[in-house]
Amino acid sequence: MTIRSLTLAAVLIAGIASQPALAQDDSTPTTSSNGTTFRGIRVEGNIGADRFRSEGTHNDEFGYGGTIGFDGTFGERIVIGAEGSYWRANNWNENCQGLPDDNSICHKAFEEWGAAVRAGYLVTPQLLVFAKGGYVNSEQRRRIDDPDGAQLVYDHYRADGYQLGGGAEYTITQGRMPIYVNAQYVYSNYHGHTARQRLMGGVGIRFK
């Protein structure tokens, strides 16, 4: 099974598992009694800053990606849900530095796939403040070259890890397909002592 399939499966399983707890009686309207639209499937696009850390240094790039998720409400103020995400830096992201033996090492990060659970509090029916955590998998490459540019080590692999983050989301339109915007920070930590930080904004549509 591919990483994409695992991510999608995690979101679907989490969404299905959460439905019994989130279900309300048949007379409950799609928009809850406090007027919020934070329920149902959502799809969003993301753009922002990407910082990849490795080998004691970091590099910053512009990044972009997308998210698909499912949310439900507990009572009047609590929102919980699951999401799957894709993220990449424009032209990827790479750190290079010299080694004591005059060789050089470069560590490169490609795309990241993630699956997370998020929980939030409705400050108002239109404004959600949330935190999230989950799993990530990133394609990476490590290369060591000698002073003449000859390649000594080349290791191309996928790195598992975890993600933690938080942010705020605001509904700007109502109706059957509300449009929302959000801003969030996400930290990803991978095995092999590499990490990624994302500061990004998003625009999405919710299917109630």
DSSP single-letter state for residue 175: S
DSSP state of 192: T
Q: Note the CATH architecture for domain 3-207.
A: Beta Barrel (2.40)
> 């004691």: which residue's tokens?
56
d(CA 91, CA 106): 15
The sign of the torsion formed by the CA atoms of 20, 23, 27, 30 equals: negative
Nearest Cα to 141, choosing from 208, 72, 55, 47? 55
Instruction: Identify whether the C-beta of residue 162 lies closer than 8 Å to the C-beta of residue 133.
Output: yes
Q: Binning pLDDT at 50, 70 and 90, where does residue 21 land? A: very low
Q: Where are the alpha helices (DSSP H) in 23-113?
A: none
Would you place residue 208 in the very low, low, confident or very high pLDDT band (cuts 50, 70, 90)?
A: confident
Nearest Cα neighbor of 74 from 32, 127, 12, 43 is 32
Determine if the pTM surpasses 0.85.
no
With a cut of 60, say whether residue 174 has pLDDT above it.
yes
Q: Which element (helix H / strand E) includes 21? A: helix 3-22
Range from 6-10, 24-28, 43-47, 122-126 carrying the lowest mean pLDDT: 24-28
Percent of the chain at pLDDT exceeding 70? 83
Condensed to tens digits (0 to 9), the pLDDT of residues 104-154 reads 999 999 999 999 999 999 999 999 999 999 999 999 999 999 998 899 999
Residues 105 and 204: their CA atoms lie apart, in Å, by: 39
Does the pLDDT at position 160 exceed 90?
A: yes
- The enclosing H or E element of 13 equals helix 3-22
Residue 57 to residue 61: CA distance in whole angstroms: 14
